Amino acid sequence: MGCWQVKDKKVLLIMNTKIHFEPAKIDVLLQIAIEEDIFRGDITTENLIPDNLMVEGVFTAKESGTIAGLPVVACFFSKLDKNVFFKEWVKEGSLVHKGETIAIIHGSAKVLLSGERIALNLLQRLSGIATLTSQFVERIKPLKTSIMDTRKTIPGWRYLEKYAVAVGGGVNHRKGLYDQVLIKDNHLDIIKNKLFYDVPSHISIIEKAVSVVRQKIKKGVLIEVETRTLGEVTDALKSGVDIILFDNMDIQQLQDAVILVKEWKSGEGTRQPLTEASGNITLENVHLVAQTGVDRISVGAITHSAKALDISLEIT
């Protein structure tokens, strides 16, 4: 079968949330994977296996976890051979247990053998991210804080890795540097030490930076500022940003920062900014962080440190 598309999009209903999978966004990545592994052809398979041999393969979970990447595998095999039949045995985003069948595939033995490693690389990596994300999400229940990803992704894999985060119950942060303003400590340090903006004494560096950005960006683009101290949180509040990021603050600092934001008397017609915690977030401390009342927790580990889920493809 080919990639499952609805006007070039597959809409998956996962955990009561619509997640859009767009096959066109992974065309280049799949082509690179095919060129680096198969290239001119699978020299072993082509010289051992006859063209007309048809076989069936079974994807099996070798450990428990959350499955993500089934439509990706279907798209990949359809690029190798439009006549390959791929059938899910579990839904995308499902929790599976060791020994459970995930999917079956039927088609040319040559195609299945040549594509086995790439398919497993995709499915194992994405399922590992979804599994770790779901573990973070479970740790903070029933609190309403969102678990969010970061830009700490493998180059070329960002779309897929953020897709896997969403499948695991997480929320996607900005896609890249182009769709949301995030003024970080390095921006502020450069402005303070190198650019020498004419800043009145009663205006903070954060307020100046936000003012400069706001004059240049399109209306509706969110502005977020990274803060390290309560003083910087106050400056961010004065600047009227949309989101305040609390970077590497301990639990007491986070509690104080959240209270400061919630008690801030904003101007008429302005919204209270969202709050976000980041830095050294683990499965062991994420619940304590969520209990401080932050709206969001961004966790780089769910993409950069996720362990691949052990999945096999047995061809019969």
Quick one: 196 exposed, middle or buried, by C-beta within 10 A (0-12, 13-18, 19+)? exposed
Q: Which of 62, 87, 91, 117 is catalytic?
A: 117
Q: Is 247 among the catalytic positions? A: yes
Alpha-carbon distance of 58 to 47, in angstroms, equals: 24
Q: Which residues are CB-neighbours of 119 under 8 A, at least 6 positions away?
A: 73, 76, 77, 313
Q: Which residues are CB-neighbours of 301 under 8 A, at least 6 positions away?
A: 132, 281, 282
Query: Residue 68's closest CA among 24, 15, 114?
Result: 15
Q: Which of 22, 81, 247, 310 is catalytic?
A: 247
Cis peptide before 142 (omega within 30 of 0): yes
Q: Is 82 among the catalytic positions? A: no
Q: Is 81 among the catalytic positions? A: no
Alpha-carbon distance of 174 to 297, in angstroms, equals: 13
Q: Is 138 among the catalytic positions? A: no
Q: Which of 91, 98, 175, 184 is catalytic?
A: 184
Q: Which of 9, 25, 151, 152 is catalytic?
A: 152
Beta strands 85-88; 101-108: pairing state:
antiparallel
Q: Which of 92, 226, 235, 276 is catalytic?
A: 226
Q: Is 162 among the catalytic positions? A: no
State both tokens at 171.
């929320």
What is the set of active-site residues? 117, 152, 184, 226, 247
